[in-house]
Structure 1
Amino acid sequence: MNCDAQGAIRAAILKTISHRCVEHGVPLTNRPILKHFATLALLILVCSTSQVQAQDTASISGFVKDAESGETLILANLRISGSLLGAATNTSGYYTITGLPAATYTILVSYIGYQSQEIQIDLSADEHSRLDIELSPLGFEVGEIVVTAEADSEEEQRQLGASRMQTATIRKLPTILEPDVFRSLQLLPGVKAASDYSSGLYIRGGSPDQTLILLDRTTVYNPSHFFGVFSTFNPDAIKDVRLFKGAYPASYGGRIGSVVDIYNKDGNRNSRHGTVSLGLLASRAMIEGPHKWGSWMLAVRRSTVEPILAVARNADVNGIPDTFYFIDANGKLNLDLSQNDRVSMSFYAGKDVVVVPIVEDVDAELRYGNETFSVNWTHLFSDRLFSNFTFTRSHYFSNPSFEFASTYSEQDNQVTDYSVKGDFEFIPDSRRSFKAGFWGGQFRFDLLNEFDSVDVFSLRTRSLYGNGFAESIYRPSAQWTITTGVRGSYFENGSFFRVEPRLSIERRLTDRLFAQFGTGRFHQFLTLVSNEAFSGLDVWLTSAAKVPPAHGDQFVTGLKYRSDSGFRLEWEGYYRTMQNLFTLDPFLPDVAGLDYHEMFIFGKGYAWGSEVFVEGRIGPFTGFAGYTYGKTRRRFPAINEDAYYAPKYDRTHDLNVTGSTQLTPTWQLTAVFNYATGQAYTEPSSQYRLTHSPFQVPDTNVLVSPFNGARLPAYHRLDVGATKIGRLFGAEYELQLQVVNVYNRSNIWFPFFEFEDDGSVTREDVPQIPIPIPNVAFTLKF
C-alpha cells in the first residue's frame, strides 16, 4: 500500500466522520481526536503491508454461503487437508487463507447443520485465487438440538469466553410463552436470570448494563418487551447470536463486562420464502427474497394478549390493563454492488404500550421502546485486506405518566446515539493477522419530570465519544497463538481518555486439547438505573466532571477438549474487579438543586467463579449441560455498613441441563432443567416504636438482617416440549407442544412483609410460576 493510497483511505474516513457529524448537529471541536483515531486504525495496516509486498506465496479468499438462500455463513470452518492451516469466516462470511506455497490443495469446508465439502484447487506461486463456496443445508428432518456453546468452527470454538447459540436451537427450546434469544443464552454457564419474568443477562457477576448489546453493529439500550419477559429480538429474523462472556477482544468496548453481538438475516438471494408463527400470547411473520441487486428481509411480531385480558376484565379481576401490547419489526436491504463491494441497510423498531387503571381516578400509562438503523459498506481492498464501514443510529425512549384526579405527572426519557465506525482486517500470511478500527459518535440523553405542567427536574447531556483499537494475532508455531490488543476510548463529558490493553494466549496441548489465558482492562462511561423486576422504566446516565467512568480488570483461564465424535468438555475460571461503579444515591430525598455529581454514590465490586460445559450424545439422547460455581459482591457507602454484600442476582450454584431425543422421524422431544441457589434478600426481623416526647407520634423502626444477608429457597424447574415437523398443502409446518414447570415447583419471586400493630412481622411469598403452564405454537414455512 503506497502513501497515496494510505492518505486516500485516511481522508475518506475523516470525510465520512465529519459529514455525519455536521449532518446530525455534532460539534467538530474535537476533530483532532477523531483524526487520531482514524490514524490509529491505519497505522497497524501500513506497518504490515510493507512486509508482504515481496512475498510470492499464494492465497485463497472468498465468501461462504448457504446454497439455497445465498445467505453468508458466519464462522464457517475451512481447513487445508493434512495440515493445521485454515480459517474461519468473519461476521460478513468472508475468509482468507494465505502463505500457501504453490501446490494442489484439498480444502475441507464445514458448518454446523450443513453438508461438509471437500474442494480441490491448484495454486501457482503468487496466485491470489477467489473461491466463493456454497454449502447445502442438511435434508428435511427435525434434527438434533446441536445446542452449541460455540459454532462448528475450530477457530471460534477455541476463542476464550466465546459462546454461540444457533437460531434453530432457540426456536426448539421449551420456553415461557415465546422462543427467546436471551432466555436461550441464560442456559449457558456463567449467564444467570433474575427471575422467570426477566430476560435480562447477568453475566459473570455483572448487571445487565455491563453487557454491550449490538444488533447489526448498532447499540441497543433496552432489549426487552413486556417489562423484561421477552427480549426485543425476533428469532425468525436473526441469523447469528454470539456471546463474549469476558476478556473480550479489543474490537469491542464500552462495557466492563461482556458483549452480545447479533446479526439479522440478509434475506434469500435465490427465491422468495416466508414463515408465519401463531402462539398463545404472541405471533410473528417473516418474508425474504431476492431483488435485482441483492436481497431483502422483513419480519414483524406482535403480542396477542388482548383476548385473555378481555376475559379477565369480564370476570372483574382487579388491576387488568386497559391496553397492553408490544409490536416490533426488523428489516434489511442488501445491495451487491460488485464482487468486492456490498452495502446493507438494516432497521429495528419496537414499542410497548401499557395503560392501567390503578384505583378510581388514578391511571398509569407507559410507553417505551427502541429504534435502530444502520448502513454498512463492506469493501475488499485486496484479498488480504477486508473492511467494514458503518453508520448507526440508536434511539431509546421511555414515557411513564400518571393521572391523579385531573392532575398529570409525566416523565420523558430519551437516549439517542449517532455513530460512525470502521473495521479493517489484514492477513499477510498464515502466522499473522491484524485488526484495527475506530468508532466515534455523539451520545444524547434527555430526562424531564413534570408534575401538573411544572418542570420538577430536567437533565440534558450531549457528549462526543471516540474509540480506536488495534489487535494482532500471532502464531509463532502450530502450538501457540498469541493475541495482543489495545483500545483507546475518549468521552467528552469530563474529558476522559482511557487506554485498555488486552492479551490472550493459547497453547495447543494435543490435537484436541487447548489451554487458554486472557486478561484485559475495560471501561464504561454509562450506567443504568433500573428496576430488577421491570425494565420499562430504565434510565441511562453518563460520566461527567467528578463522575469518572467505571473500570474493571478481568482474568480468565480455560481448558477445552473436543473429540472426533463431537463430544466437548470445557472449563473456564474467571476473576474480575469493578471500580468506580456509580449509581443514584438511594438516600437522597430530592435531587432538585443538586449538581450532577452530587446525585451519585460510588462503589466497587468483584466476582469470581468456575464454569463447566459439556456437550455430546449418550445413546439416542443429545444435549448439553452447564454448571457455574461463582460469587459476586458489591460495596457502596452507607449500604450494609460499608461492608461487601451479595447483590440480588448472586447465585453460588447454577446448573442448566438440556437434552433432546428423536421419538420418530418427525417427532422430537426436548427437556430443559434449571437449578440455582436462591436469590439474596434483606429480611426484617422485628419492629419497635420509640416516643421522643408525650406530644409526638411514636416513630416506627424496623430491625433488619444484614443487607441481602438472607436467601430464598433454591430455584429449580423442569420444562418439556415436543416438536412435530411435516408438510401441509406442500408447505413445511412445525407444531410445538410445551409445558413449563412440569412438576409444579412454586419458586419464590420475592417475599412481601407486613408489619403488625403488635410489633411482629409477617411474610408472604409471591410465587413466579405458580402452576404448570402449557403452550402451543404453530409455524408454517412457505
Structure 2
Amino acid sequence: MQSQDKQETPVPLVSYIKILESKFDIKFSYINEDVENISIAVPNNLVSLNDILEYIQSQFQIKAQKLSDRYYTLTKTSLVTVCGKILDNFAENTIPGATVEVFGTEIAKTTSADGSFSLEDIPRNATLKIRYLGYNTKYIGVDNLINEGGCPLILMAQHYEQLKEVIVYKFLTTGIIKESDASITLNTGEFGILPGLIEPDILQTVQALPGIKSIDETVSDINVRGGTNDQNLILWNGIKMYQSGHFFGLISAFNPYLTDKITVIKNGTPAAFGDGVSSVVQMETDNELSTNFTGGAGFNFISGDIYGQIPVTDRIGLQFSARRSTTDFLNTPTYNKFFDRAFQDSKVTDQNNIAVDDDILRDENFFFYDFTGKLLFDINDYHKFRLNFISITNNLNYTENNLTNLETTNSLLNQDNLSIGGQLQSQWTDRFSSNVNVYYSRYNLDAQSLFANQIQILFQNNQVLENAIKLSADYALTDKLHWNNGYQYIETGITNTTFLTTPPFDSEIKGVVRIHAPHTEISYASDENKFIGKAGVRFNYMENLGTFANFLVEPRFNLNFRLANYLRGEVLGEFKSQTTNQIIDLEQNFLGIEKRRWILSDDETLPITKSKQGSIGINYSKNDFYLGLEAFYKEVDGISTNTQGFQNQGQFDGEIGSYDIKGIEFLVNKKSGNYSTWLSYTYNKNDYTFETIVPSSFPNNLDITHTLTFAGTYSYKNLQVGLGANFRSGKPFTEPQDGDLAFDNSVFPSRINYKSPNSSRLPEYIRVDASAIYKFNMGRNIKANMGVSILNMTNRKNSLNKYYQVSEDNEIEAVESISLGITPNVSFRVHF
C-alpha cells in the first residue's frame, strides 16, 4: 500500500542527503540555497542510490551528476517541468478551464476537467499567473511549487464583492421586478404564470403592468400611458425593431426562451435612449457563454419552435432559435379564433341598424416564421464580442368571393424584418468599462389588393433601412458615484410607394434622417441607499436631407429616496423626441394594423414629435406585500391625424396637433410561497388639441378612463394555475349626425356628416382569462411541461372599434370590430 511505500514523516532534504552520504559512503557537492526549504519523503520501496537520485530529480528538478565513485554534485536545472491541480479554497471542487500562464510570456494552458495542468521547459525562476472568472487571480513562483514536490494542490479564493443594497420589488408572478429606477424587469428564465398565458410571450406579458394595455387586443399595438404603438422604442439586443408581431399583431415575434431579460421604462428614461416618446421596451438575450449544450422545443395550436445554446470552445458559443406557424397546413381552434379576429369578426349594419350580411366565400393561405442567432466570443476576460441576427416574416394570400354581387377580391401581404448587429463590451479597469454597438436593420412591407374582379389594383410598399453606431463608456468616480458618457449616430431611410390603377395614381416618397446624439449621465447612491438618483442630458442634432435641421436638448432625471421603513418615494421626468411615425392607410381594409406604414418627420406635413413627462410615486413593500401608487402628466406635441387612426371627419386631413394625458396608476399585490393575488387600477384623462378642428379639444382615440384588473395565481407541487378578470371603460368613437343631417349628397362622392369628434363611447370591455401549467421530468436531464389556456372564457362579445362608411347603395353603414371569442390553446414543451 501507499502508506507502506513512503516514510511516515517528510524530512528536510539537507538531512536526507547526509543520510545518503552515510549509508552509501559518498559525498555530495551542492549550493545550500538549492536544497534549503525542501522536505522529502522517499518511498520505502526505493532502495538503490540511482532510484533515489532519479526520484529527487523528478520531484524537485534537482539533477545529480556522478563525478567519481565517491563524489556527486546536486544542481538545480534551469528549465523545469511543473504540474499541479487547482481547487477552490474549500479544497472540495476542482476548477476546470482555469488559465495557467507563465507570467510575462505567451506560454499558457487551461486546466483539464479535474483541474490539473502540466507545463514543460519552464524557467525555474518564472512566476505562474492563474485566472478564472469568479476567483481572485493567483500568482505563484515555479520554484515554490517544485519545492512542494510532485503535483501539489493549488487553492484559489473565490472573488467576493461587497454589493450595495438593491431596492427592488417583486410582484405579480416570479420573474417580474420593479427596480429602484422605476423600470420593470422581466426575467423569462424565472417567469411563473399569468392568467391566459401558458408561454412567456414578451409583449403579452408587459400588458399585465399598470399603464400598459392594447386597445385592440394585439401585441403590435401596445399603448403606454395613452401613446400609440409607434411611440414605443422596441429594442432587441440594442437593435431597433420596426416589426414586433405575428398574425397581425396577435402573437409576439420574439422567442422568449433565449431572451434573458426584458426592461420596460415608462418614464425617467436614461439619457442613452433616444426615440420612443411613450416608452422603451428593451430585450436582451442570454449574454454569457454556456459550458454545456442546453435547449428546448415545443409547440402549441399556432406554431412550433426550437432553441439551443451550443458551446464551441471555452471562449466561443452559439445561440439559435427558430419558430414556424402551422397555420398554412393545420386548422386548430386557436387559429380559427385568431383568424376570425383578424378578418371576419366584424359586424356591418345599415342606417336602420339591420345587419348587412353578404354571402362571402373566403380562402386564405397564411404563415409566419422567425429565426434568431447569436455568436458569443470572449476575446479574453476583459473583452467580449457578440454578433446578433434576427429575421421575422409574415406572409398572406387572402381571397374573398362575394356570391351576392359575384365579385372577387384578392389581397397579398409580405412583411419581414431583417437585422444584424455587433457588440464589443470591454472592462478596461475595475472602474472603467465601455460598450460599442453597431447594427443594420431592414423592414419591408409589400401589400397588394385586387378589387372587384381586378377592376382596381392597389400596390403599396413600405421599406425602412437603418444603420447605427452607439458608443458608451462608464466610469466609477467613487464607489457611490458613476459617470456615463456616449455618442450615437443613427441614419434612417424610409421609402413609401403607392400605385393605384383606378383612378390612376403613382407615388414614391423617400426620405433620410440622420441623428447625432452625444449624451451624459451621472448616478449616485448614498449609504444604505437612502437616496438613489440619476440625472442626465441627451443632445440631438437631427437633419432630414434637404428639409430641416434641428438641435434638441433633452434632460432626464430619476430620483428614489427612503421616506420611512419599507416606504420609498420616487420622482421622475424626461424630455424625449422621435422622427419616425406610422401613418394608417385605408383603415377600413381588412388588413387593419398591418396597413400601417412608417414615415419620417419632414418638419412640414409631419414635424418632429416631442414629449414632456413628469411623475411622482410611492412604494411600500413588507413581508411579500406590495403597494404602489404613481401619478403622472405627459404632453406630446407634433402628432398628425394621419398617425392616430381617425375614422371620422379628421381622417384624411393631416392636421397637426398634440395630446396631453393625466393619470394615476395603482397596484396592490400580496404573495406567499404558493400564491399571488393582485389588484391594479389606472385612471387616465387623455385629450387631443387640434387648433384647426372644431372643437379644438376632444378625447383621444386611446382615452380609456378606467382600467381595472383583478387576478391571482396558485402553485401546488408541479401545477400552476392563473385566473384573472380585466375591465376597462369604452373607447371613444364618432357617430354621424342624427336623422337627415347625417348624410351630405351635395358632393361626390357622398359624405357623412359627423357629430363632435369622439363624443360617443363604446360599451365597457370585460374579459376573463385562465391558464394552467403542469411541469414534470421526462428523463434525468429532460424537463417538460404542458399548458392549457382559455382567453375570454365567458365568450363575451366586446366591441373594440366602430366606424361608419358609405355603401354602394349610397347609405351609411356601421362597421364594428369584435374582440376574440372564447379561445383555447394548448402547449407542450421540453427543456434539456
TM interval, shorter chain, is 0.7 to 0.9
CA shift for structure 1 position 403: 3.1
**1:22-52 C-alpha deviation (Å, 9 max, x unpaired):** xxxxxxxxxxxxxxxxxxxxxxxxxxxxxxx
Write the letter of the residue equivalent to 2:597: V
CA shift for structure 1 position 699: 8.6
Name 1:211's counterpart in structure 2.
Answer: 232
Name 2:632's counterpart in structure 1.
Answer: 574
CA shift for structure 1 position 642: 4.0
Between stretches 537-546 and 253-262, larger displacement belongs to: 537-546
How far, CA to CA, are the matches of 2:767 and 2:457 in structure 1?
43
- Give the TM-score taking structure 1 as reference length: 0.74
Name 1:423's counterpart in structure 2.
Answer: 472
1:242 aligned to 2:263?
Answer: yes
**1:697-721 C-alpha deviation (Å, 9 max, x unpaired):** 9996645332111111111111111
Q: 2:492 aligns with which of 443, 448, 455?
A: 443
Q: Is the 8 A contact 1:209 1:527 kept in 2?
A: yes
CA shift for structure 1 position 130: 9.3
Q: 1:541 aligns with which of 592, 595, 599?
A: 599
How far, CA to CA, are the matches of 1:721 and 1:652 in structure 2?
28
1:655 aligned to 2:708?
Answer: yes
1:326-337 counterparts in 2 under 5 A?
326-337=368-379
**1:79-102 C-alpha deviation (Å, 9 max, x unpaired):** xxxxxxxxxxxxxxxxxxxxxxxx
Name 2:387's counterpart in structure 1.
Answer: 345
Write the letter of the residue equivalent to 2:286: K
Q: 1:271 aligns with which of 262, 272, 292?
A: 292
**1:441-464 C-alpha deviation (Å, 9 max, x unpaired):** 311111112245987001111232
How far, CA to CA, are the matches of 2:808 and 2:399 in structure 1?
31
Q: Is the 8 A contact 2:443 2:465 kept in 1?
A: yes
Write the letter of the residue equivalent to 2:188: T
Write the letter of the residue equivalent to 2:460: Q
> Computing the radius of gyration over CA atoms, which structure comes out larger, 1 or 2?
2
1:530-679 counterparts in 2 under 5 A?
530=584, 534-546=592-604, 547-563=606-622, 565-582=623-640, 584=642, 600-617=654-671, 620-639=674-693, 641-663=694-716, 665-679=717-731
Write the letter of the residue equivalent to 1:686: D
- For the structure 1 residues 545 and 773, does the alpha-carbon distance in structure 2 shift closer, same or farther, using more than 3 Å as the test? closer
**1:489-518 C-alpha deviation (Å, 9 max, x unpaired):** 111111111111122333212342211112
- For the structure 1 residues 273 and 387, does the alpha-carbon distance in structure 2 shift closer, same or farther, using more than 3 Å as the test? same
CA shift for structure 1 position 149: 4.7
CA shift for structure 1 position 647: 2.4
Q: Is the 8 A contact 2:680 2:710 kept in 1?
A: yes
SS at match of 1:437: strand
Q: Is the 8 A contact 1:309 1:321 kept in 2?
A: no
How far, CA to CA, are the matches of 1:257 and 1:689 in structure 2?
39
Q: Is the 8 A contact 1:603 1:635 kept in 2?
A: yes
How far, CA to CA, are the matches of 2:811 and 2:500 in structure 1?
38
SS at match of 2:268: coil
SS at match of 1:227: coil
Name 1:108's counterpart in structure 2.
Answer: none
Coordinate RMSD, CA, aligned? 3.8
Write the letter of the residue equivalent to 1:422: L
**1:661-690 C-alpha deviation (Å, 9 max, x unpaired):** 123x12121122211111111123534279
How far, CA to CA, are the matches of 1:617 and 1:690 in structure 2?
55
- For the structure 1 residues 727 and 259, does the alpha-carbon distance in structure 2 shift closer, same or farther, using more than 3 Å as the test? same
Write the letter of the residue equivalent to 1:241: I
Between stretches 578-587 and 506-515, larger displacement belongs to: 578-587
**1:240-291 C-alpha deviation (Å, 9 max, x unpaired):** 1110012312121122221111112247611112211111112211111211
CA shift for structure 1 position 223: 1.1
- Give the TM-score taking structure 2 as reference length: 0.69
Name 2:22's counterpart in structure 1.
Answer: none
- For the structure 1 residues 692 and 514, does the alpha-carbon distance in structure 2 shift closer, same or farther, using more than 3 Å as the test? closer
Between stretches 465-474 and 355-364, larger displacement belongs to: 355-364
Write the letter of the residue equivalent to 2:538: R
- For the structure 1 residues 444 and 171, does the alpha-carbon distance in structure 2 shift closer, same or farther, using more than 3 Å as the test? farther
- For the structure 1 residues 300 and 175, does the alpha-carbon distance in structure 2 shift closer, same or farther, using more than 3 Å as the test? farther
CA shift for structure 1 position 761: 7.0
**1:84-135 C-alpha deviation (Å, 9 max, x unpaired):** xxxxxxxxxxxxxxxxxxxxxxxxxxxxxxxxxxx9999xxxxxx99389x9
Name 1:506's counterpart in structure 2.
Answer: 560
How far, CA to CA, are the matches of 2:743 and 2:193 in structure 1?
62
CA shift for structure 1 position 145: 6.6
Q: Is the 8 A contact 1:505 1:518 kept in 2?
A: yes
**1:542-579 C-alpha deviation (Å, 9 max, x unpaired):** 2225453121211111111221x232221111001112
Q: Is the 8 A contact 2:583 2:643 kept in 1?
A: no
Name 2:365's counterpart in structure 1.
Answer: 323
- For the structure 1 residues 416 and 187, does the alpha-carbon distance in structure 2 shift closer, same or farther, using more than 3 Å as the test? same
SS at match of 1:289: strand
Between stretches 460-469 and 701-710, larger displacement belongs to: 701-710
Q: 2:185 aligns with which of 164, 168, 188?
A: 164
Write the letter of the residue equivalent to 2:159: L
**1:343-387 C-alpha deviation (Å, 9 max, x unpaired):** 001111011011111334532101112111110000012111111
Name 2:323's counterpart in structure 1.
Answer: 301
**1:408-454 C-alpha deviation (Å, 9 max, x unpaired):** 53212110100000111111212211111111031111111224598
Give identity over the alignment, percent: 22
Name 1:479's counterpart in structure 2.
Answer: 530
Q: Is the 8 A contact 2:197 2:771 kept in 1?
A: no
**1:168-224 C-alpha deviation (Å, 9 max, x unpaired):** 576733437965211111110011211234542111111111111110001011211
How far, CA to CA, are the matches of 2:227 and 2:645 in structure 1?
23
- For the structure 1 residues 544 and 697, does the alpha-carbon distance in structure 2 shift closer, same or farther, using more than 3 Å as the test? closer
**1:298-339 C-alpha deviation (Å, 9 max, x unpaired):** 1011111234559989xx994544321111011111001101
Q: Is the 8 A contact 1:500 1:522 kept in 2?
A: yes
How far, CA to CA, are the matches of 1:534 and 1:170 in structure 2?
32
How far, CA to CA, are the matches of 1:622 and 1:649 in structure 2?
30
Q: Is the 8 A contact 2:750 2:806 kept in 1?
A: no
How far, CA to CA, are the matches of 1:395 and 1:283 in structure 2?
25
Q: Is the 8 A contact 1:177 1:281 kept in 2?
A: no
SS at match of 2:477: strand
Name 2:125's counterpart in structure 1.
Answer: none
SS at match of 1:186: helix
Q: Is the 8 A contact 1:269 1:291 kept in 2?
A: no
Q: Is the 8 A contact 1:266 1:295 kept in 2?
A: no
Write the letter of the residue equivalent to 2:376: N
- For the structure 1 residues 586 and 374, does the alpha-carbon distance in structure 2 shift closer, same or farther, using more than 3 Å as the test? closer
- For the structure 1 residues 511 and 436, does the alpha-carbon distance in structure 2 shift closer, same or farther, using more than 3 Å as the test? farther
How far, CA to CA, are the matches of 1:132 and 1:330 in structure 2?
35
SS at match of 2:593: coil
Gaps of 5+ in 1: 1-66, 71-118, 123-128, 136-142, 152-156, 589-597
Name 1:29's counterpart in structure 2.
Answer: none
Q: Is the 8 A contact 1:265 1:332 kept in 2?
A: no
CA shift for structure 1 position 144: 11
SS at match of 2:177: coil
Write the letter of the residue equivalent to 2:247: F
SS at match of 2:827: strand
Gaps of 5+ in 2: 1-92, 97-133, 138-156, 164-169, 340-357, 402-406, 647-651
SS at match of 2:774: strand
Name 1:288's counterpart in structure 2.
Answer: 309
How far, CA to CA, are the matches of 1:206 and 1:172 in structure 2?
27
Q: Is the 8 A contact 1:750 1:767 kept in 2?
A: yes
Q: Is the 8 A contact 2:173 2:193 kept in 1?
A: no
- For the structure 1 residues 227 and 120, does the alpha-carbon distance in structure 2 shift closer, same or farther, using more than 3 Å as the test? closer
Q: Is the 8 A contact 1:722 1:738 kept in 2?
A: yes
Q: Is the 8 A contact 2:289 2:376 kept in 1?
A: no
SS at match of 1:424: strand
- For the structure 1 residues 164 and 501, does the alpha-carbon distance in structure 2 shift closer, same or farther, using more than 3 Å as the test? same
Q: Is the 8 A contact 2:303 2:324 kept in 1?
A: yes
Write the letter of the residue equivalent to 1:294: I
Name 1:378's counterpart in structure 2.
Answer: 425
Which structure would you say has the larger RCO, counting Cα contacts within 8 Å and 6 or more residues apart?
A: 1
- For the structure 1 residues 511 and 373, does the alpha-carbon distance in structure 2 shift closer, same or farther, using more than 3 Å as the test? farther
